[in-house]
């Protein structure tokens, strides 16, 4: 299993630096929560990991692979799955077609839906022939997660997966993310505003401010004083 390692990572939109000197390691099967107020660079860091900003400097490796030299699709084929804000499912495709899209990043060539996805998200089996655009926001988020899992990833990167979702589905999504990490050994990088969930789920956390890491540690170090200083508005 591979470790993801960022060293002094800088990321740019145009010539403007957004991420400035971020370093972290994600060991196999580890859960990293990325926290911070709005507009501090959390989403940009996730996009940097996937090659979706205008440029990056520093070091970013996954196992033996230098990610900065690879395209977004090449990074996906290494086993790095990304679920952005807004989910970006294809509304005119059925649930089945959306999930099967994820399989095209598999290196083993298998084009079938893993059965455990329906055990984890039963509504997707029920709505398998329904258009993605006809699902609720929470159901679309479950679909986006299922599509990412269909590629058989080693790391799952999620950007505020429960934002704007009905409360009865939030808990289901949170529990699914924890299960994927603890039962299936998936590495997780999660941007999250829900501090209690981050505390419960993560192994380690980082807090960003103005594109820099201002505090990091193990979940037990995510104290009320850290939250008050760096995360309250």
Ranges of each domain in the chain: 4-230
Residue 200: pLDDT band by 50, 70, 90 thresholds?
A: very high
Calculate what percentage of the chain has a pLDDT beyond 90. 92
Cβ distance 61 to 101 under 8 Å? no
Within 10 angstroms of residue 170's Cβ, the number of other Cβ atoms is 18
CB neighbours of 186 closer than 8 A, spacing ≥ 6?
A: 29, 153, 154, 155, 156, 180
Q: Report the distance separating Cα 22 and Cα 216, nearest Å.
A: 11
pLDDT tens digits along 65-111: 999 999 999 999 999 999 999 888 999 999 999 999 999 999 898 99
For domain 4-230, give the CATH number: 3.40.50.300
pLDDT (mean) for 26-43: 96
- Predicted pLDDT of residue 99: 97
Q: Report the distance separating Cα 186 and Cα 28, nearest Å.
A: 8
- Predicted pLDDT of residue 41: 96
Q: Report the distance separating Cα 48 and Cα 195, nearest Å.
A: 23
Q: Report the distance separating Cα 7 and Cα 223, nearest Å.
A: 26
């Amino acid at each position: 299993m591979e470790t993801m390692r960022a060293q002094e990572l800088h990321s740019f939109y145009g010539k403007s630096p957004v991420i400035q000197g971020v370093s972290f390691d994600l060991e196999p099967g580890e859960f990293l929560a990325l926290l911070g107020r709005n507009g501090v660079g959390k989403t940009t860091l996730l996009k940097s990991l996937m090659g979706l900003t205008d440029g990056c400097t520093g070091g970013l490796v996954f196992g033996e692979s230098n990610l900065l030299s690879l395209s977004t699709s090449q990074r996906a084929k290494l086993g790095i799955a990304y679920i952005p804000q807004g989910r970006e499912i294809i509304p005119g495709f059925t649930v089945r077609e959306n999930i099967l899209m994820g399989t095209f990043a598999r290196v083993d060539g298998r084009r079938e839906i893993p059965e455990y996805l329906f055990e984890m998200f039963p509504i997707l089996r029920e709505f398998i022939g329904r258009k993605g655009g006809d699902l609720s926001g929470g159901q679309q988020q479950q679909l986006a997660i299922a599509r990412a899992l269909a590629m058989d990833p080693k790391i799952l990167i999620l950007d505020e997966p429960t934002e704007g979702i009905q409360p009865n589905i939030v808990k289901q999504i949170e529990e699914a993310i924890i299960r994927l990490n603890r039962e299936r050994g998936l590495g997780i990088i999660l941007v999250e505003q829900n501090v209690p969930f981050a505390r419960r789920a993560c192994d380690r956390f980082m807090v960003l401010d103005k594109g820099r890491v201002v505090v990091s540690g193990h979940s037990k170090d995510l104290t009320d004083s850290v939250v008050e200083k760096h995360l309250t508005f």
